[in-house]
Amino acid sequence: MRNITEIYIDGAFVKPHGEEIGDLFNPSTEEKIGTVRLGDREDARTAIAAAKRAFPAFSRTSKAERIAMLKRLSVAVFARAEEMTAAMAEEYGAPQYFTGFAVPHAASTFLNMAETLENYDFTRKIGRADVTMQPLGVAAAITPWNSNYGFICSKLATALAAGSTVVIKPSEMSAIQTQLITECLHEAGLPKGVFNIVNGRGDVVGAEFSAHPDIAKVSFTGSTAVGKQILRAGAETLKRVTLELGGKGPNILLEDADLDTAIPAVLMAGLANSGQACIAGTRILAPESRLPDILERLKAGIEAVKTGDPGDPEVRVGPMVSQKQYDRVQSYIRLGLEEGAQILTGGTGRPEGIERGWFVRPTVFVNVDNSMRIAREEIFGPVLFVIAYKDEENAIRIANDTSYGLQAYIHSSDLDHARRVAERMESGRVVINGAPHEPLAPFGGFKQSGVGREFGVSGLEAFLEPRAILC
Ligand code: NAD
């Protein structure tokens, strides 16, 4: 049992004023593995005050000083990668292929931001004006449970690079991982108050961060519903807001796709992070002319995917993070059946041979119409759909017929062809033939997948405001 009893304010681990205790679980076994003492609004305000005190001096640090701090943070996180991996497997249920990406990714976000900063010019001359890019002030980061380390680190890296101090509220379900990453960040020896991390409920600490007048900027990753609340709460004091929200990514097999390579890539994109990924390509668009072959291959492919204990290196799909998330995914599988879709493989309940844990059966629906709720709403689990299209125009129309627009996937044996289709996607990112992540390219959504962009220069400038001096 791990009991997380402290939060991190003004450079020190301190006992929260809040007294509420939350339970922590291992989703693979459903066992309670610890507790977290949650901060309250007073803790949120104490953290904001610490960040506000630290801001004047920190905002005047040089680029070189901030680059050095980012590098120290990266070293400190890399140093405990093994423990971080174990905690992410235990508390979140992440399979090894995902922790193998997520933990180094978290540490490298600091190096990516250091590189961006190295090449970024905060001053420019525009006609008679001397323009300086200024840090906005104290920033708040609010993050979800599905990649706790990565979101904390990337938002922290960006705020610091811009010269902002920051208060962070991670998901209350990730407290063991948060404790570990906070210890790493503390080791980097940054000035007191530059970053503060408060465990707490979204409607308490998160709500205080979203509305407090001393917060200039909120960077949020989470659900579209909460994103809208944060935007409303911030409107009163005109906060700058970056929202990274949900998705319902189209995963398009073009007529000329090489199915030997494309089907594994389609499944990889669809089942990313056990389906608990905003970027998951869950809407598989398949040409009618090749449908029988595609369905046969998808069925065989998904049935070969191993679901289970994240301790097993062969496992690709781990458990859902919580009972609530398990119930939600199950209810969507039932809804799909009620709506008249048919199951190609998978279904309700746990996978065969698994008696406990919040595991769901990787499921593929066929005979799906894009107007069905299962095709329109984010499920956040390993549940995929095949929507047949007649021709390419039809495919593009269906792909864009969604309120989301985060990440789309295109599979084709002709790169120029894929690019032409990519250019017509209403989506923040378009991945062709399973291309790898590009850490300095903008990341974020069109439409209700979000507001603004993260990573690289776009991410940095979202924490800056230009000031023009004319003389
Ligand atoms: P969530 O929106 O419920 O919670 C996210 C964070 O917001 C948590 O820390 C939570 O405590 C906090 N929160 C909840 N209510 C709040 C409120 N009223 N005010 C302020 N903060 C509040 O999301 P979740 O269930 O933790 O994560 C899953 C969702 O996140 C999915 O919808 C997924 O698509 C989205 N997501 C998006 C991205 C992206 O980059 N676009 C990445 C990962 C997850």
* Amino acid 8: pLDDT: 99
The 10s digit of each residue's pLDDT in 81-90 is 999 999 999 9
Contact by Cβ (8 Å): 315, 96: yes
**Does the domain formed by 2-245+447-470 have CATH 3.40.605.10?**
yes
**pTM for the full predicted model:** 0.97
Shortest-distance atom of ligand 1 to CA 172: 11
The gap from C-alpha 262 to its chain's centroid, in whole angstroms, comes to 25
Nearest to 380 by CA among 222, 171, 220: 222
* Domain boundaries along the sequence of the chain: 2-245+447-470, 250-432
**Are 324 and 358 spatial neighbours (Cβ–Cβ below 8 Å)?**
no
Please give the pLDDT value at position 86. Answer: 98
Q: How far apart are CA 459 and CA 443, in angstroms?
A: 8
Burial class (CB in 10 A: 0-12, 13-18, 19+), 377: middle
Report yes or no: 326 and 320 within 8 Å, Cβ to Cβ.
yes
For the CA of 224, the nearest atom of ligand 1 = 32
Q: Is the CB of 222 inside a 6 Å radius of any atom of ligand 1? A: yes
β-strands 407-411, 21-26 pairing: unpaired
In this predicted structure, what is the pLDDT of residue 124?
96
DSSP-assigned states of every residue in 154-165: HHHHHHHHHT--
**pLDDT value, residue 364:** 98
pLDDT at res. 276: 98
Q: Is the CB of 230 under 6 A from ligand 1?
A: yes
Neighbouring residues of 342: CB distance < 8 A, sequence distance ≥ 6 = 365, 366, 367
**Distance in Å, CA 68 to ligand 1 centroid:** 31
Class at the top of the CATH hierarchy for domain 250-432: alpha beta
d(CA 62, ligand 1 centre) in Å: 33
pLDDT tens digits, one per residue of 335-388: 999 999 999 999 999 999 999 999 999 999 999 999 999 999 999 999 999 999
CA distance 264 to 253: 12
CB of 145 within 6 A of ligand 1: the answer is: yes
What is the pLDDT, as a whole number, of residue 390? Answer: 97
- Rounded CA-CA distance 268/97 in Å is 11
**Model pLDDT, residue 322:** 98
Whole-number pLDDT of residue 110: 98
Tens digits of residue pLDDT in 150-194:
999 999 999 999 999 999 999 999 999 999 999 999 999 999 999
pLDDT for res 319 = 98
DSSP annotation of 6 reads -
User: Which of 7, 208, 215, 226 best tests ligand 1's pocket when mutated (most atoms within 8 Å of CB)?
Assistant: 226
CA 54 to CA 138: how far, in whole Å? 9
Protein residue with least CA distance to atom 23, ligand 1? 222
Positions in the chain whose pLDDT score sits under 70: none
3-state secondary structure of 422: helix
395-425 core/surface letters (b: 16 or more CB in 10 A; e: else)? bbebbbebebbbbbbbbbeeeebbeebbebb
Identify the pLDDT of residue 217. 98
